Amino acid sequence: MIHADAEASTVGKNVSATVGIVCEAGRFLAQLTEVLDALAGPGDSPRLFAWHAIMDKARSGSRRVLEPWLRRESSPLSPQQLFRAIRDFLPADAVVVVEGNISLSSAQKILVVRQPASWLDPGRNGIIGGAIPFALGAKLAYPDRLVMALCSDAGFGFSAPDLETAVRHGIPIIVVIANNDGNTGAQRQKSFFPPGYPEKITEFLPALRYDRIMEVFGGQAEWVTEPGELRPAFERAVASGLATCINVRVDPNAPHPGFW
């Protein structure tokens, strides 16, 4: 574990670092790139080939488990249905920003990265609330590419006002909300409390209309409850040329897809 930070007091604060480095992020990454380029050579190929083989085997196994889920049709939508539709719609040069829990893990399993610098992913940290502001930056960097932010409904609550920023500055990102009634849908509620527990501690009110927030701001708003509504909503978002919020009703009782 290498922990680099511009502030010395934060190095090793959240994790025990094998190597701690006090350095500004841009300078650290530039120097790291130079070192990695110097290390790469013909002698590394056999080791890398073996590692790639291990990764390919794990990925193939994961996809075999996932395939039956991708063939299922249900209403309300499963997370797999939503992200299958996103996968089939996105152009090859799209930039995708992901966050959340179920939304994050579904995206990691189902979506395909076709170009470098096209996938902003927090790993397993969740980065709640980061998708929309990251997508704004990506769209400013690549104005000619489709940029899509994939949000959990819990994460959306942290950065919903940034929809106004997108409209005010004319930044036409597409924000898709996996609306499963709260943090991990009903799964967390069930794991924390006994059946019939009267208060929904970890769940929100059902089917909240987050898309109406975008209506107030003046962008394109879509409310999706059925599988057949997904692609037309995506197409209208692109055709509008506006910042768009697509609020998708996802089954709150769907099982967690699991990470990678």
Q: Is residue 256 part of a domain?
A: no
pLDDT tops 90 at residue 4:
yes
- Tell whether 88 and 207 lie within a shared domain: yes
- Tell whether 8 and 118 lie within a shared domain: no
- Tell whether 190 and 210 lie within a shared domain: yes
Q: Is residue 254 part of a domain?
A: no
Query: In the Cβ-directed half-sphere of 200, how many Cα atoms lie within 13 Å?
Result: 12
pLDDT of residue 63: 81
**56: CB partners within 8 A, 6+ apart:** none
- Tell whether 116 and 239 lie within a shared domain: yes
- Tell whether 57 and 145 lie within a shared domain: no
Q: Is residue 258 part of a domain?
A: no
pLDDT of residue 187: 75
Indicate the number of domains in the chain: 3
Q: Is residue 136 part of a domain?
A: yes
**243: CB partners within 8 A, 6+ apart:** 163, 166, 167, 170, 171, 172, 173, 174, 175, 214, 217, 219, 220
In the listed set 27, 53, 71, which residue is the last one of a domain according to the structure? 71
- Tell whether 112 and 18 lie within a shared domain: no
Q: Which two tokens stand for residue 6?
A: 């511009």
**Cα–Cα distance for residue pair 259/79, rounded to 1 Å:** 13
Contact indicator for 151, 132 with CB cutoff of 8 Å: yes
- Tell whether 98 and 205 lie within a shared domain: yes
- Tell whether 26 and 134 lie within a shared domain: no
Q: Is residue 260 part of a domain?
A: no
Residue 66 burial (10 A CB sphere; 0-12, 13-18, 19+)? middle
- Tell whether 128 and 50 lie within a shared domain: no
The model's pLDDT over 234-256, given as tens digits with 9 standing for 90+, comes to 999 999 999 999 999 999 888 77
Contact indicator for 214, 163 with CB cutoff of 8 Å: yes
The model's pLDDT over 111-163, given as tens digits with 9 standing for 90+, comes to 988 898 899 988 666 578 899 999 999 999 999 999 999 999 999 999 999 99
Domain that holds residue 91: 75-249
